[in-house]
Amino acid sequence: MHSSVPNSMLGERNGAPRTAIEETVERLREDILSGHFPPGSKLRIEELRKRYGGGVSTIREAMARLMSESLVVSEEQRGFRAAPMSLRDFTEISDMRKFLECRALRKSIEIGDDDWEAQLVAAYHKLTKVEERLHNGVREAGLQRSWAQANKAYHDALVSACGNSWLMRIRALLHRQSERYLRYSLVHSAPTRDVHQEHEAIYKAAMERDADTACELICRHIDNTVRVIKEALSQRLSEHDAAADHIGKAP
Amino acid sequence: MHSSVPNSMLGERNGAPRTAIEETVERLREDILSGHFPPGSKLRIEELRKRYGGGVSTIREAMARLMSESLVVSEEQRGFRAAPMSLRDFTEISDMRKFLECRALRKSIEIGDDDWEAQLVAAYHKLTKVEERLHNGVREAGLQRSWAQANKAYHDALVSACGNSWLMRIRALLHRQSERYLRYSLVHSAPTRDVHQEHEAIYKAAMERDADTACELICRHIDNTVRVIKEALSQRLSEHDAAADHIGKAP
DNA sequence: GAGTCAATAAAAATCGACATTTTTTAGAAA
DNA sequence: TTTCTAAAAAATGTCGATTTTTATTGACTC
């Protein structure tokens, strides 16, 4: 560590990374998600070392871990790159998400108990509060971030009773991928349409245990988001190279 | 490398690992899959270093990569372990597999072209040959391995036209997990029932583009395998501790 | 000018020493 | 005996020097 005070004396900083690797993973992930390292761009060890500090192996292991999230790809003896992006890839991700989200939601509605309902009520309430402020045009620092968080929590709560940890894990993986496209498209999706109405409808269907309606609604919900992102994305694409299938520059 | 001849001069040895990390990954993966390192057991760096050779970072990075396959898990500052196994986990994996396999098969049948059919015919033919020999009780070195390979190739061919690389990737991930349970259960599933008949039925339904039947059959196919494995697994479990939920020893 | 090859520069992969944290052991106090 | 504390041991995490591989440059041939 760089500090002279050992970590263990700082107490358990909630959620904060404890090892250099974890910290590097988080910073690098954010830098890829935010587009600081464009899709397909080379990730040189020395460059990252200067940026994040730490030794070679620390950087290397951080990248190995991000490979499991498919945010980093590697070619043998040829180093690492930020994972490429493409409209096709985004389509595939979204298809999978619709598919898995429906499955998980259906199961949750089927077997969810009072605990599940309680959690859902709470998450929906929080999301509503944030979306109200967004809708009223409140200018507040980090509101966008709060919304993203509340939105994720709400959708997680919806499916949290599905009873299959693999389903949850894979769902989370795809959500993160999707979020990358959202951020790359520069769309701040919340204000662009009345998302809250969609959330409300799904919430009601779930609480009424109407699985068919809930699935139908959530598919439409994802479709709507996808449409907005794709529009922004192909626009951003055409600024550079309309014919290009993949996104970003590969120096 | 240990050899004095650089790898590049050996030509592209097909599929052989080119870096020390890759080699370590493959050997460690095999050792976990085969049960040499039991589920939940500690993976000490020094021990692995003696077993596979190489430096600390090499071993470390290999483990980081196997974390992405969920064959290795880590706790911060507390090293690595072989991923735990449990009946519950196996159930979840199998549910997901049925679900995804159906989806992929349906799509393949829907949009698969002549190429797809040709590949499928070829894979089915190979599998048939191997299963004939198995059925006739031919004693041949590596026949079991050949069957596993042909079986995988056949199932891959079935869904190869599904048009979604994420679906294929996740399917492969779950297949590998499933294989771990198969091997741990010590079941050599091929001879235990007339698997070929099932393969034939699925093959015919797929070629006739009868998606509903094909999906129905493949679900039953997976169910049958799961039943056999679970039986053997709970038997093996009861040898140690009938009440245990998770499998293996955690020293 | 296109292509080949060798020398050089750049980058990636590998290694073991060192620092930090966790676990074990031993001894003292209750 | 049990419980707590402190020192010792073991294991993990971190680092930059060294080795190996790939990419680049430029002279040379056809």
pLDDT of A180 > 80? The answer is yes
Nearest residue to B203 via CA among B126, B95, B134: B126
Our separate counts of H helices and E strands in chain B read 9, 5
Q: Sorting pLDDT into bands at 50, 70 and 90, what band is A246?
A: low
**Is A79 within 7 A of strand D by CB distance?**
no
| CATH number of the A7-83 domain | 1.10.10.10
Contact B163, B208 (CB under 8 A): no
Give me the mean pLDDT over the A118-126 stretch: 98
Contact B164, A96 (CB under 8 A): yes
pLDDT of A57 > 70? The answer is yes
Mean pLDDT by 10 residues, chain B (251 residues): 32 59 95 94 96 94 95 94 95 97 97 97 96 87 88 96 97 95 79 84 97 97 93 73 51 42
Domain coordinates of chain B in residue numbers?
A: 7-83, 86-247
Closest Cβ–Cβ partner in B76, B96, B166 for A96: B166
Token pair 């709507």 is found at A224
Residues on A contacting B at a C-beta cutoff of 8 Å: 18-19, 22, 56-57, 60-61, 64-65, 67-68, 76-77, 89, 92-93, 95-96, 99, 103, 163-167, 170, 174
Residues 5-34 of A with CB under 7 A from strand D: 19-21
- pLDDT score recorded for residue A247: 67
| CATH number of the B86-247 domain | 1.20.120.530
Going by the DSSP 8-state scheme, the letter that residue A181 receives in this structure is H
- pLDDT score recorded for residue B10: 30
Q: Sorting pLDDT into bands at 50, 70 and 90, what band is A191?
A: low
**Secondary structure of residue A36 in the 3-state scheme:** coil
Nearest residue to B161 via CA among B99, B196, B194, B115: B115
pLDDT digits (tens, 9 = 90+) for B72-91: 999 988 999 999 999 999 99
Terminal alpha carbon distance of chain B: 33
What type of residue sits at position B192? T
Token pair 């790359």 is found at A184
Could you tell me which chain B residue has the CA closest to the CA of A102? B99
| Whole-number Å distance between alpha carbons of A145 and B24 | 41
Q: Sorting pLDDT into bands at 50, 70 and 90, what band is A60?
A: very high
- Strand C, nucleotides < 7 Å from a protein CB: these are 11-17, 20-23
Q: Number of residue pairs across A and B with CB atoms under 8 Å? A: 62
pLDDT of A2 > 50? The answer is no
**Shortest-distance nucleotide from A74 CA to C1':** C12
Cβ neighbours around A148 below 10 Å, total: 18
The bridge status of strand A80-82 relative to strand A42-43 is antiparallel
**CA at A149, C1' at D12: how many angstroms apart?**
34
Give me the mean pLDDT over the A142-147 stretch: 88
* Strands annotated E in chain A: 42-43, 72-74, 80-82, 85-86, 246-247
Query: Do the chains contact at A164 and B96, CB–CB below 8 Å?
Result: yes
Contact B180, B33 (CB under 8 A): yes
Phi, psi (degrees; rounded to nearest 5) at A237: -65, -45
Q: Sorting pLDDT into bands at 50, 70 and 90, what band is A245?
A: low
Rounded alpha-carbon distances, angstroms, from residue B115 to B7, B125, B134, B150, B203: 36, 15, 29, 19, 15
Q: Which of chain B's residues have a Cβ under 8 Å away from the Cβ of A95?
A: 164
Rounded alpha-carbon distances, angstroms, from residue A82 to A35, A103, A180, B167: 10, 31, 12, 21
Contact B66, B29 (CB under 8 A): yes
pTM exceeding 0.75? yes
Cβ neighbours around A225 below 10 Å, total: 21
Q: Which two tokens stand for residue B176?
A: 């590998």
